[in-house]
Amino acid sequence: MTKIIFEKTSEGRKGSAVPEKDINIAEISIDIDEEMKADKIPDLPELSELDVIRHYTELANKNICVNSHFYPLGSCTMKYNPCVNEEIASMRSFTDIHPYQVESSVSGNLEIMYLLKKYLCELTGMDDFTLQPAAGAHGEFTAMLMTKKWFELKKENRTKILIPDSAHGTNPASANMAGFEVVQIASNENGTVNLDDLEAKIDDKTACFMMTNPNTLGLFERDILKISEKIHSKGGLLYYDGANLNAILGLVRPGDAGFDFVHLNMHKTFSTPHGGGGPGAGPVGAKGKLAECLPLPKIIQKEDKTFSLMYDNPSSIGRVKAFYGNFLVLVKALAYILSMGKDEIANVAKLSVLNANYLLKKLEDIYEIPYGKSCMHEFVASADRQKNIGVTAIDICKRMLDYGFHAPTVYFPLIVHEALMIEPTETESIQTLDLYSEILHKIQEETEKNPDLLHEAPHNMPVKRLDDVTAARKPDLAYKK
Amino acid sequence: MKFSQEHEWVTVKGDIATVGITEYAADQLGDIVYVELPEIDTEYGKMDRVGSIESVKTVSDLFTPIGGTVIEVNPAISDTTPDGDVNDDQHFEYINQDAYDKGWLFKIRMSDPKDLDDLMNKEEYDAMIKA
Amino acid sequence: MYTPHTEQEIKQMLNTVGKDSLDDLFESVPKEIYNTHEMNLPKSYSENELKKFFRKLASENKVFESNFLGGGCYNHYIPSAVSAITSDSRFFTAYTPYQAEASQGTLQAIYEYQTYMSRLTGMDVSNASLYDGATAICEASIISIAETKRKKVMISEALHPEYAETLASYIGSENIIKVPFNENGLTDYEVLKSKLTNEIACVILQNPNFLGSIENPNKIAEAVKQNKSLLVIAINEPYSLGVIKNPRDCGADIAVGDAQSFGCSMGFGGPSLGFLTVKRNLMRKISGRLAGKTVDKDGNEGFVLTLQAREQHIRREKASSNICSNEALCALSATVHLSLIGKSGFMQTAENNLEKAHYMAKKISELDGFTLKFKSSFFNEFVISCSKETPEEIVERMASKNIGGGIPLGRFYPNMKDCLLIAVTEMNTKEDIDNFVKELSEGVKK
């Protein structure tokens, strides 16, 4: 293991230079309440700049990432993160702008926000967007607050949110946080929403049906128009979780399919990097009057064509974050939309779906694919067969790491045993997919002939398989001397 | 020892019932890493949710098969020591290793001993998990 | 763009999957909604066109030569080595470290970040980050509500107004009890104590508060504790911890806030770095990701994401928070930043902020027409009242001179229309400050 940065300290060593003091303190008086004066200096390490660069470069060496590895992490859309977007977002005129500068000094930023909102509306069929939510889950929560507000304004008491059993855990968690009761809707034998169960559970207390389409099994909900009609006939709202928008970007607009509001993940569909956990951005769009409930401030274009932030709207839920959103992430998303443009945007959907189907065909001889012979942008394989001979999905994942591939999403969705959720994305080539297939076949051979190789995997990573149980039983969450 | 549908075991001494989860339940959950226990001096109804049991990848609710007032929780599993300090020496592995003894969870003063009548004996419980 | 497929390869792949065309892959999509709308987007930009386009937009922004805006977002020095690390693709193009063995770099960096935040706040446990300071106080409130089984949250009116608005969206304004601040810009503790009831889950005190004033939470910590409520201290200028007591020593149960000051650019307000730290007894109640140290099967040390059974992907609707993605790369910036400046750089910067702010406050108060609004002690931010020009006029005029002239407070506090909030950091030289003061006096002469 690399030593912890705190273990590398050398008393008195100087790090990077910080700005010098230039005030003559004899000229001033500083009067701080004695009781509030710090009585100790924060215990930070003392290192040279090179010490620090070496340390974090050594840590970087222990990561695998999209730039180095195929990363088919299902539902996370780990597509290539274009370099030009990073260069643009790191321009000083974007990074060194304070959120409370006078509007006349941030016209460029306001225009970026306006354009992004306009294009997101166009791509989804929504009428307005907020760029404030910082991540997908934050967008979902925003949408749940809007749902609450919507029915408050209509003076209807609706308490239930319907959610398919295949949904991401964030959906029920977001609904619960906003004070709703979660009602789970079963999947049918094809892996899509069971309409009978929906029919049985929908009532005049139903506020909203949250859907991911294609769903987490990588299947398009082909009954979407029927579902939409059913929900709307009962006065409920239909919500689109944009986690899987990549499958339909530029081809199908959620708004045209009857969805009333959506959230999108800039760090999935719109190519912004995930940063090892964030920051992302989760804009939320809405149609018609529901758009009035979107958070404030709202970016608008005034009659004189200039842009402004609007702070006043009694139908709004208010704010869900300080300032305006993860602006530097939004810049990258706009750059991505423009570099795709109207000519190429639909290739995202077409080629991501092609790649997933191609890989599915290549792998169907080794894994059970419980739901269907074809898929959208991702598919869920099951390692149930392998488990019968003592090798689990996680064993297979760990072995993939040895061969230079990141693992798929594992054990999700919960409705598939030993799930391996594979999403190749459109930015991968046939050669990479072929190589991946070849390796998985090799791993299958090992599964049959030498399962211990998998039980013990990974073998080539910086560490061997880690003990999650001890980590959780005796949590060690900060370094202590 | 008696057993509930929710895979708890119960032993009784006077009006005090001791409750834990069965070996079968512990096996199903896998390595248990945390238990949220009921609060002492709190009254619960029969089959109330009183806490939860976590393994690395799952969490399941803990119910009380007997109504009454909780009088004690297993100090080897509790978050706090009897003095109210943070317990830095928790032994969740007891539940996996010794479910029926060291892995007990809580003691409850029964409000109605008739609650026991609804529980299964060992043969009935074994038959249930086989089915 | 960014798709590698040749025509030939597409044909070959379609052949493998048994389809005649790409459109055939979408048979499960109802015809009524498939490809029915022509996207009204610009044509595809080349890389060169894209850069030109954004350069033009960038030129419509103004980066102030000297910047005196704070209010939860601060202009601090960031060593070049920070972006050298955060722009390493092995950090920024990785996902959340689900496969621990392939993510030891990210995981160790998070563990180090948690250690930094624990040490700075004096608390025992830090999570891996939250979206920002505003959502961090919301998460702290949710934790407090769950822990105490009470419904209401008490905040000071000197809490960042946008944090207060965010909290109102999260828990409902009917569940927020507000305490005013007094003529010194400090939370009125007598009122606070009088409103403590058995409905209050927690009391949130920002320190230094939004007006820059340094609160003394020790004065209420005991009363809050006796009331069986939790004390939450919010910090959005964490450099202040070089000068004032940490939240632990002020009696806090939870310390939250925004650490954008550490290595994250202002970026028009986002992304920034929400943090959440708690005392040991609240460890299992904390929201967000946690990295923990463990061992591998050979007994070597390594790191994993841990205590995951708290989280939404396992607990679903029973999870106390829905957070999933956080601000990991910003947490990495903070970690690298703190490592680079070290103990002495941290202290030098903290003292520098303190001294410059006091110098500037003194110079302004010597001007005719300006007074310091509050007598309380402050770190690097303070309020002035302006009698001859409105704050809005001042900032417009300063902007035309390439100076970020502070934040007019009228938009947040209707009765403070004459007030301007000014932040001073190590980035403002004495010359910048003198220049600002000179410009202020010019306006008065007019």
pLDDT at C446 over 60: no
C297 and C185 part of one domain: yes
Contact: C81, A16; criterion CB under 8 Å: yes
| CATH topology (fold) of B2-113+121-130 | OB fold (Dihydrolipoamide Acetyltransferase, E2P) (2.40.50)
**C13 touches B at CB < 8 Å:** no
Rounded CA-CA distance A315/B70 in Å is 48
Q: Which residues of A touch B57 (CB under 8 A)?
A: 411
Burial environment of residue C142 by CB neighbours within 10 A (0 to 12, 13 to 18, 19 or more): buried
- Quick one: A187 exposed, middle or buried, by C-beta within 10 A (0-12, 13-18, 19+)? buried
CB contact under 8 A, A468 and B34: no
Based on the fold, state whether residues C331 and C371 are members of the same structural domain: no
Q: Does C400 touch chain A (CB under 8 A)?
A: no
The verdict on C112 and C185 lying in the same domain is: yes
Residues C308 and C210 in one domain: yes
Which among B31, B34, B59, B81 is the top mutation candidate for probing chain C, defined by the most C β-carbons within 10 Å of its own β-carbon?
B59
Both C99 and C177 in a single domain?
A: yes
* CA–CA distance, C297 with A459 (Å, rounded to integer): 11
d(CA A104, CA C64): 12
Cβ pair C57:A321 closer than 8 A = no
Subunits adjacent to chain A (3 or more Cβ pairs under 8 Å): B, C
Nearest CB to C309: which of B54, B80, B86? B54
- From first to last of its 131 residues, chain B has per-residue pLDDT tens of 999 999 999 999 999 999 999 999 999 999 999 999 999 999 999 999 999 999 988 899 999 999 999 999 999 999 999 888 899 899 999 999 999 999 999 999 999 999 999 999 999 999 999 98
Q: A82: nearest CA in chain C? A: C2
Neighboring chain B residues of A468 at a CB cutoff of 8 Å: 56
Inter-chain residue contact A473 with B34, CB threshold 8 Å: yes
Does A62 sit within 8 Å of C104, measured CB to CB?
A: yes
The pLDDT of residue C444: 66
C309 CB neighbours in chain B (<8 A) are 33-34, 54-59
Q: How many residues does chain B have?
A: 131
Strand C403-404 versus strand A419-422 pairing type: unpaired
Q: Which residues of chain A neighbour C125 with C-beta distances below 8 Å?
A: 475, 477-478
CB nearest to B92's CB, from A411, A468, A473: A473
Q: How many interchain CB pairs under 8 A, A with C? A: 691
Coil, strand or helix: which one is A239? strand
CB pair distance less than 8 Å for C22 and A354: yes
| Residue C15 CB-half CA count within 13 A | 7
| C114, part of any domain | yes
> Does C390 touch chain A if contact means CB atoms closer than 8 Å?
no
* C22 domain-assigned: no
Q: Tens-digit pLDDT profile for chain A (481 aa)?
A: 899 999 999 999 999 999 999 999 999 999 999 999 999 999 999 999 999 999 999 999 999 999 999 999 999 999 999 999 999 999 999 999 999 999 999 999 999 999 999 999 999 999 999 999 999 999 999 999 999 999 999 999 999 999 999 999 999 999 999 999 999 999 999 999 999 999 999 999 999 999 999 999 999 999 999 999 999 999 999 999 999 999 999 999 999 999 999 999 999 999 999 999 999 999 999 999 999 999 999 999 999 999 999 999 999 999 999 999 999 999 999 999 999 999 999 999 999 999 999 999 999 999 999 997 899 999 999 999 999 999 999 999 999 999 999 999 999 888 899 999 999 999 999 999 999 999 999 999 999 999 999 999 999 999 999 999 999 999 999 999 8
Edge-to-edge strands, sheet with C230-235: C125-126, C274-278, C254-258, C230-235, C200-206, C152-156, C176-179
Residue C295 resides in a domain: yes
Same domain, C259 and C379: no
Compare all CA atoms of chain A with the CA of C54 and give the residue at the minimum distance: A88
pLDDT in the model for residue C315: 83
The span from the CA of A368 to the CA of A444, in Å, is 13
Angle at C293 between CA C287 and CA C294, to 5 degrees: 120
- Residues C196 and C327 occupy one common structural domain: yes
- Nearest-CA distance B91 → chain C (Å): 16
- Say whether residue C309 is in contact with chain B using an 8 A CB cutoff: yes
- Facing A91 at nearest CB: one of C54, C69, C129: C54
b or e along B68-101 (b: 16 or more beta carbons within 10 Å of the residue's beta carbon)? Answer: bebeebbebbbbeeeeeeebeebbbbbbbeebee
What are the structural domains, with CATH classification, of chain A?
A: 5-60 (no CATH), 85-339 (3.40.640.10), 346-468 (3.90.1150.10)
Q: How many domains does chain C contain in total?
A: 2
User: Is the complex ipTM higher than 0.95?
Assistant: yes
d(CA A399, CA A406): 10
What are the residue ranges spanned by the domains of chain B? Answer: 2-113+121-130
Average pLDDT on C272-297 reads: 96
> What pLDDT sits at residue B83?
85
Residues 266-305 (C) with a CB less than 8 A from some CB of B: 280-281, 284
CATH number at residue C187: 3.40.640.10
Same domain, yes or no: C328 and C348: no
C11-22 per-residue burial string, b: 16 or more CB within 10 A, e: under 16: eebbebbebeeb
C311 Cβ partners below 8 Å, 6+ apart? A169, C289, C319, C321, C324
Average pLDDT for residues C82-101, to the nearest whole number? 96
> Least CB-CB distance to C105: which of A59, A105, A274?
A59
CATH of the domain at C438: 3.90.1150.10
Give the pLDDT score at B84: 85
- Mutation site, A168, A477, A480, A481, interface C, largest C CB count within 10 A: A477
In chain B, at which residue ranges do the beta strands (DSSP E only) sit? 2-3, 8-13, 16-21, 32-36, 43-44, 49-55, 59-63, 68-73, 106-110
A19 at C interface, C-beta within 8 A: yes
Other Cβ atoms less than 10 A from the Cβ of A460: the count is 11
Q: Could you tell me if C247 and C368 lie in one domain?
A: no
Residue C258 C-alpha, separation from nearest chain B C-alpha, in angstroms: 28
Neighbouring CB atoms inside 10 A of B41's CB total 8
Radius of gyration of chain A (CA): 25
Q: Domain ends where: C291, C313, C337? A: C337
- At C12-48, the pLDDT tens digits run 999 999 999 999 999 999 999 999 999 999 999 999 9
Q: Tell whether A473 lies on the interface with B, counting CB pairs under 8 A.
A: yes
Q: Which of C337, C367, C392 finishes a domain? A: C337
Residue C1 lies in a domain: no
Question: What is the nearest CA distance from B55 to chain A, expressed in angstroms?
Answer: 8
Q: Could you say which of C287, C311, C337 is where a domain stops?
A: C337
Residue A205: predicted pLDDT: 97
Do the chains contact at C307 and B34, CB–CB below 8 Å?
A: yes
C-alpha to C-alpha distance for C333 and A12, rounded to whole angstroms: 23
Give the alpha-carbon dihedral of A307, A312, A315, A316, to 10 degrees: 70
Do C294 and C369 fall within a single domain? Answer: no
Q: Which domain holds residue C358?
A: 66-75+343-445
